[in-house]
Amino acid sequence: MSDRTRQAQPPPGETGMALADVDTPALMIDLDAFERNLARMADTLKDRPVRLRAHSKTHKSPLIGAKQVALGAVGVCCQKVSEAEIMVAGGVSNVLVSNEVIGARKLERLAALAGDAEWLGLCIDSDEGLAQASAAASGAGTALHALVEIDIGAGRCGVAPGEPALRLARAIADAPGLVFAGLQAYHGSAQHIRDHDGRRQAIDAAIKMTRQTVGLLERNGLTCAIVGGAGTGTFEMEAASGVYTELQAGSYIFMDADYARNRAKGGGPFDSFEHALFVYATVMSVPGEGTAVVDAGHKALSVDSGMPEPFAMAGVTYQGPSDEHGVLKTGGSNKPPALGDKILLIPGHCDPTVNLHDWYICVRGMGTPQAHVEDIWPVTARGAYF
């Protein structure tokens, strides 16, 4: 096998097809809800001193990235160099790799990409990472914008706020091929704290550490053009902070079941955005009363953040996924699904669910008798990991 190319699978539907004719399992966008989500985020951030840098790891699609930019986003985040290559090739050319990049092969590709992009950045949290990025950019004769990642509570990557960040920022500013661009200050785990006060408390602490670090750097002559972070669960807090300049929310376009388990201020539903992403599935077995088995399991849905939720099916829960099966418990329903019925599942976690599929089946008029496939979009960066 010397051939380094192969085809992805064909899509499970055709443009123009009625919703009910789409084969299953299928990854589906409710275009009406999706467009409302895009507009709602743009409206929320209009006339505020902070812009969206939408996280494309959610959608892996330059086509969707371009829609976000058209509505005011400064550009996108990626998590991987290969994703950044796909975004730039697809016309979205202001790209931050919101992650550390280690290894000569990856950094050479990133440095080369900087020659094609309007703006290209990465995050750095080590001297070794700095040296590697500097060498690659110098070698390519390009410039890489570099943010110092600080750990403000997430416990993943990043140096400590304050002096360690200052030391690294200075080294970046002095390094050939690198441009010091600011701070990466993302609190991932805070996004999924269920109650609003808990999220508020975590983000208040994060904002405080970030503000102090920005101040320390400024007093030392290092201006943070970008202070980036935030996700769908907390972006309004970072937006109001006066410190953050770029918000990295991604899931707001699709709104998964996990985010819907968050509570808003006062305890009400966290419903700023609508569910716009579904996995369409068929009931393939009804082995007995109270149980139905659908054809969507681990290979069609990611359950890392909890089970998917059957959409608009009161009294029905999804349990016990295996590779290609999901068991529905239907005992609480007065209209349990029948063999052959097609149902919509809201993924527990949209990002890794999207990454399982090669295509988006884009439906217009979901929930109406006219529901049909308006378009089919590739999940262009599916499998782009390195």
Cα 60 vs. chain centroid, distance in angstroms? 8
For Cα atoms 155, 160, 163, give the angle at the middle one, nearest 5 degrees: 175
Question: CB of residue 137 vs its own copies: minimum separation in angstroms?
Answer: 18
When binding is defined by CB under 8 A, the residue of 32, 236, 258, 295 that contacts its own copies is 295
Contact of 150 with 165, CB cutoff 8 Å: yes
Q: Tell me if residue 67 falls in helix, strand or coil.
A: helix
Binding positions for its own copies, 88-117, rule CB under 8 A: 99-103, 105-106
CB of 223 or CB of 319, closer to its own copies? 319
- Determine how β-strand 226-229 pairs with β-strand 246-247: parallel
Q: Tell me if residue 173 falls in helix, strand or coil.
A: helix
What's the farthest any 2 CA atoms get from each other in the chain? 71
CB of 15 or CB of 370, closer to its own copies? 15
Cα 175 vs. chain centroid, distance in angstroms? 31
Binding mask 26-65 for its own copies (x = CB under 8 A): x------------------------------x--------
When binding is defined by CB under 8 A, the residue of 52, 286, 307, 346 that contacts its own copies is 286
CB-count exposure of residue 355 (10 Å: 0-12, 13-18, 19+): middle
Using the rule CB under 8 A, give the single segment among 28-36, 88-96, 232-240, 347-355 that binds its own copies.
347-355
Using the rule CB under 8 A, give the single segment among 4-12, 31-39, 222-230, 233-241 that binds its own copies.
4-12
Q: Residues in contact with its own copies, total (CB under 8 A)?
A: 81
Preceding amide of 369 cis, omega within 30? no
When binding is defined by CB under 8 A, the residue of 355, 364, 365, 371 that contacts its own copies is 355
Instruction: Tell me how far CA of residue 340 lies from CA of 23, 155, 264, 321, in angstroms.
Output: 11, 46, 37, 19
Is 377 a residue that touches its own copies (CB under 8 A)? yes
Binding positions for its own copies, 255-284, rule CB under 8 A: 282-284
When binding is defined by CB under 8 A, the residue of 29, 53, 90, 151 that contacts its own copies is 151
Binding positions for its own copies, 189-248, rule CB under 8 A: none
Contact of 311 with 64, CB cutoff 8 Å: no
Question: CB of residue 327 vs its own copies: minimum separation in angstroms?
Answer: 6
